[in-house]
Chain A
Amino acid sequence: MSDFGTVASIAADVASGRASARAILEQHLVRIDTREGEVHAFNLVMRERALESAAEIDDRVKRGDNPGRLAGVPVALKDNMCTRGVDTTCSSRILEGWKPPYDATAVKKLAAEGAVFIGKTNLDEFAMGSSTENSAFGPTRNPLDTSRVPGGSSGGSAAAVAAGFAAGSLGSDTGGSIRQPAALCGLVGVKPTYGLVSRYGLVAFASSLDQIGPFTHTVEDAAILTEVIAGHDPMDSTSIPQPAPDLVGVLGAGVKGLRIGRVADLPKGADPDVLARLDAAFDALAEAGATIVDVRLPSLSFALTAYYLIAPAEASSNLARYDGVRYGKRVAAGDINTMYADTRESGFGDEVKRRIMLGTYALSAGYYDAYYGKALKVRRLIADDFARAYADADVILTPTSPSVAFRFGSKTDDPLAMYLCDIFTIPTNLAGHPAMSVPFGTGQDGMPVGVQVLAPTLGEATMFRAAAELERAV
C-alpha cells in the first residue's frame, strides 16, 4: 500500500520543492472522488480548507520559510477531535451540525508542522464500538474488502489511510480503537502512554483510558506523527510533564539484546491464523537477536470485565452534558426533564444508550462497590501483573485482534461478542501503557493480521525499535 506515498516522503518532497502541497492534495482528492462513495471513510471532506492550507504551505516553501515536519502531508482526523469552525459530530445525531469554537491540542500541533487536514473521519458513535457499524451516519467499509468492517471505533481514520485518502490520520484509542482497525486494515496504529498526548479537545469517551494516536502505512511515519502530537500540554491535567520522545532516531537500532515477552497464559479466543502470525513474529525477532522470554499475566482474562465497567461508568458521566441546553440537538418539550429524556433518547444510538445505562448502573447507589469499585481494583491487579512481567521483558507481543476483519452484521446482534474483539487491546488502556499494532502478513483469506507490541509506561522508544524490526522482517 505504500505506493500511496508515505508521510516522510511527502513532507520531504514538499519541503524540497520536488512536489507542491497542492499537487499532493489533488492526488488524494482524486482517490477520494473515486472510492469514498464505496468506503465512506469521512463524515466531512474538508476540500476547500485543505486547498487553502496547501496553498499556504506552498507559499511558505516559495518564501523559503520552514514549512514544518509535515509540510503538505494530507492528514485525516477522527471526527471526535475538535476543529475550530468545522463540524465535529462524533458520528452522533446529538452533535450533528456542532462547530467547536476551538481546536484540540493534537490538531494544533499537526497544523503547526504544516499538515493539511483533508477531512473528519467516521467512527462508532462516541467511539463506542469495534466495527464502525455504530455510526449514526452509516458504516465505513474496509478498503481491502468492502464486504468487511474496517474495525473500530476509529474505522474511518483507518480506512482513509488504507484507501490512500490521507497519508496518515489520527484516531483515539480507549480500548483498542486505533490498534484493532489498524490490524484489520493492514496499517501501523499507535496508542501512546496515557498522558503522552494531550486529550484537550478530544471529545471524551472514558477519560482515564482515552489516548490519541496515529494511523500510518509505515512505522517511521507513525514515529513522526507520534513525536509531533506528543508532549506536555498545560490544558490537560493528566498530561505528563515531559517533552516528546525521540522515536525516529531509534528505528534503526535493532532488537539485539531486547527481551521479548511471550504471554504464557494468553487468554483464549484468537484465531489460528492470527496465532500463526504471532509465532512468526517471535521467530523474526529472535532471528534478529532478541531473546524470547515467557511472562505471565494471570489477571488479563478479567480485563474485559474491568474495562466494560470502568469505561461505561466514565462515559455515562462524560455524555451527560449532551442535554440539549447549550449546543447540539434538542427535542422541544414542555418541561426540562422531558426535554432531556426526549433529546437524549433520539440523539443517541443504541450502543451509546446501552453503555450509558450500564455505566449509570455501575455507579449507582448500592451497586458502586459491587461493580465500579471492584473494577478499579481489578485494574490495579492488571497493572501489577504488567509491572512484574516488565521486570523480565522489555516489550511483550500479543495478537492485536482475535481475528482478521469480519463481515458486516456478524456481531451486531450480540454486544458481548463485539466486546470480545478488544480482549487483547484493553489491558494496555487499563494499565495506561503504550502499545501499537504492526501489520505482519495475512491470514489464509488474504486479509491482514496485526501483531501488537506492548511496552511499559513511556516505553515508546523500545516499542518502536521492536515494531521497526517486525516491519523489516515482513
Chain B
Amino acid sequence: MSDSSKFQNGLPDGWELVVGLEVHVELATKTKLFSASPNRFGDEPNTNIDPVTLGLPGALPVLNEHAVELAMRIGLALNCSVQPCTFHRKNYFYPDLPKAYQISQYDQPLNVDGYLMLPGNVRVEVERAHLEEDTGKSTHFGGAGGRIHGSEYSLIDFNRAGVPLVEIVSRPDIRTAEQAKQYVSELRAILVAIGASDAKMEEGSMRCDANVSVRRFGDPLGTRCEIKNVNSVRSLGRAIEYEARRQVDILETGGSIRQETRHWDDAEGRTHTLRTKEDADDYRYFLEPDLVPLAPDAAWVERVRSALPALPAARRALLAALTGADVEGEAVSVVVERGQDPYVKSVVDAGGEAGRALVWVQQSFAEEGESPRLPAKDLAALTVMEREGKITATQAKTVLGEMLANGGGDPVAIAASKGFEALDTSSIATFVDDAIAAQPDAWAKYCAGEEKAAGALVGAIMKASKGKADGKVVTAMLQERRGS
C-alpha cells in the first residue's frame, strides 16, 4: 500500500481503511424471479402483482430460467465458478416482504470465488454472486418530512417484490474510497455490457452497501459497520470517507466500534445508526421446501460462457493498443463505456488516424449510441486531413459538427466551402514572431517557465491568423523559440 493511498482516504498517518462491498443488481428479465408478473420499473403501484408476488395463501414459486441465465453470465464475467446450488428462506417480518421470508441463497450460492480487476492491477476477490428476490417498496408519510423514524404511516407497493436480484459480495480487499468507486463503476460497466442489468443506481436497479472498518497497519481486521442507502458512485466515496474518519476518531479517543448498520444521509453528508447487531433478527434460514435444487450442467455453463460478449477490460485493452492511448485513461474508458470502440476500429479500418479518431469520438460522440450515424469513412477522411496538415484542429471540429448534424459528408468539400485551410509553417512563424514582439512581458514569463503565460501568446496568434493556424504547430514553435 503506497503512502498516497493513505492520504486519499483523509485518514491520519498509520490508519488503514478496509472495505468490502455488497452490490445488489436487478436482473433485466421480463418477469419476476419466481412468478410471471412483469419486472418493470415505474409502473402504477401494485399493478405488477400475482399470487406469488403478494404471498397469497397457496401460491408457489417457480424459478425463472432467464434469471438463472443472467445470474450465470454475471458469475462467469466475474471469473466465478458456477456450481450446483439451493434456495433458502430468510425469515423476518417487514411490511414490504410479502411472505415474511425472502427466498435467497445461503450456504450454496450459484456463483463463488471470482474476482474483479481494478486500475493499477488491483484485484478484488468476489466471494459470491447469488440469486434472491427483491422486496416491495415502502414509502413513509407524516412525521419529519417522510423520514423512516417518526413517520405516521407507510404505504406499500409490491411491484418490485419478487424482482430477480443478484447480490455480488466482495471480500474486504478494497483499501481506498477511490478503489470502491472504481469497483462499482467497473462492475456496472460489466453488467451493462453483458446485458444482465441496466444497473442504474439512481433508479435503484443497482444498490450498494459498504462494509467499512479501519485498523492500524498490520493489525487484524477491525469491527465493521455496514453503510446503507448509498445512491451514487460519488456518494459511495463520500460515505466511506466519512465513515472511516468517524471510526478513526472514535478509536483514537479510546472508544470502540460497535458492529451496526448505518444509514448514509447524502444531504447531511454523514452516517447514523439504523440498527445495532443486538436488534438483528434471527433469520432462521432453512432450505426452501417449495423449490428444488438448481444444478446447471457443464454444457449449459459453457453455452452461457461462449455467448458472453467481450468484457470492458478486454475491450479497453484492444482500444488502447489500437489507438496508442493510455489503457486507464479517460478517453478509452469513456468510449468503451459508450460501446463506441467498434466504431473507432471501423474508422481505423477505413484508413483513419487511430489517435485522432479516439479523441473525436470521445469529445463529440456523447449523444451518439453504439452505432453513430456518421459513416466511419467520413470521420476517417477528416482525420487524414488533420494528419496531412490540411486543416487545424479547430477547423476540424467545425467540419465534424457539420458532418454530425447532416449524418455524414465529405470533409474536404465542407472545409473548402468554409474556406478552411491550414496555414503553412512559414506563415505561422510570422504570426508567432509578431506575437512575441508585441507581448514581451508574457514572453518573459513563459521563458521563465510559467506555462500559463503561453495562453496570451497563442490567443494573439490565433486571432491574427483568423483561426487557421494549427494550435499544435503554434505550441511547438513557441517551445522551440524558448529552447525547451
A residues whose Cβ falls under 8 Å from a Cβ of B: 81-82, 88, 90, 95, 98, 100-102, 104, 199-204, 206-208, 234-238, 313-314, 316-317, 320-321, 323, 325-327, 336-337, 340, 360, 363-365, 368, 372
Contact = CB atoms under 8 A, between A and B. Distances in A.
Given A204-B58, A237-B62, A364-B282, A320 B101 contact: yes
Contacts of A201: 58-59
A364 B284 contact: yes
Given A320-B91, A323-B100, A314 B58 contact: no
B144 interface: no
Contacts of A95: 57
B57 A88 contact: yes
A9 B315 CA distance: 74
A173 B156 CA distance: 35
A321 B98 contact: yes
Given A207-B290, A237-B291, A340-B93, 9 more contacts: A82-B57, A101-B56, A199-B60, A207-B289, A236-B62, A323-B93, A336-B95, A360-B284, A363-B284
Contact of A363 (B62, B158, B286, B291): B286
Contacts of A206: 289
Identify which of B60, B63, B282 gathers the most chain A CB atoms within 10 Å of its CB.
B60
B95 A235 contact: no
Nearest to A344: B93
B62 A372 contact: no
Contacts of B61: 237
A317 B101 contact: yes
A402 to B, nearest CB: 28
Interface in B87-133: 89, 91, 93, 95, 98-101
A321 B58 contact: no
Contacts of B99: 320-321
Nearest 8 A/B pairs, CB to CB: A320-B100, A207-B289, A363-B284, A208-B289, A203-B57, A201-B58, A82-B58, A321-B55
B321 interface: no
A235 B93 contact: no
A238 B290 contact: yes
Contact of B292 (A199, A237, A314, A325): A237
Contacts, number: 99
A85 B282 CA distance: 37
A100 B59 CA distance: 10
27 contacts: A82-B56, A100-B51, A100-B57, A102-B58, A199-B60, A203-B57, A203-B58, A204-B57, A204-B58, A206-B289, A236-B60, A237-B60, A238-B292, A313-B286, A314-B286, A314-B289, A317-B284, A320-B100, A321-B55, A323-B95, A325-B98, A326-B54, A327-B56, A336-B95, A340-B93, A364-B284, A368-B284
B62 A321 contact: no
Interface in B270-289: 282, 284, 286, 289
Contacts of B284: 316-317, 360, 363-365, 368
B101 A325 contact: no
A327 B46 CA distance: 14
Nearest to A239: B60
A200 B282 CA distance: 29
A313 B287 CA distance: 11
A200 B60 contact: yes
Contacts of B91: 316-317, 320, 363
Contacts of A320: 91, 93, 99-101
Identify which of B57, B99, B284, B290 gathers the most chain A CB atoms within 10 Å of its CB.
B57
B51 A326 contact: no
A353 B74 CA distance: 43
B290 A326 contact: no
Interface in B260-313: 282, 284, 286, 289-292
Interface residues of B, number: 29
Given A320-B99, A323-B93, A360-B284, A237 B290 contact: yes
B156 A325 contact: yes
B216 to A, nearest CB: 33
Interface of B: 51, 54-63, 89, 91, 93, 95, 98-101, 154, 156, 158, 282, 284, 286, 289-292
Contacts of B154: 336
B58 A235 contact: no
A316 B91 CA distance: 10
A336 B152 CA distance: 11
A293 B112 CA distance: 51
A82 B54 CA distance: 15
B91 to A, nearest CB: 5
A280 B101 CA distance: 49
B233 to A, nearest CB: 33
A323 B93 CA distance: 8
Nearest to B291: A237
A95 B59 CA distance: 15
Contacts of A202: 58
A321 B60 contact: no
A368 B282 CA distance: 11
Contacts of B54: 326-327
Contacts of A325: 95, 98, 156
Contacts of B290: 204, 207, 237-238
Contacts of B57: 82, 88, 90, 95, 98, 100, 203-204, 321
A202 B56 CA distance: 11
A334 B424 CA distance: 83
Contacts of A101: 51, 56
B63 A326 contact: no
A156 B410 CA distance: 87
Contacts of A235: 60, 62
Contacts of A199: 58, 60
B440 to A, nearest CB: 78
Contact of A200 (B58, B95, B100, B286): B58
A104 B58 contact: yes
A288 B63 CA distance: 48
A201 B51 CA distance: 9
Contacts of A237: 60-63, 290-292
B100 A234 contact: no
Contacts of A313: 286
A314 B89 CA distance: 10
Contacts of B289: 206-208, 238, 314
B53 to A, nearest CB: 10
Nearest to B96: A325
A34 to B, nearest CB: 33
B289 to A, nearest CB: 4
A317 B286 CA distance: 9
Contacts of B55: 321, 326
Given A82-B57, A203-B57, A313-B286, A321 B51 contact: no
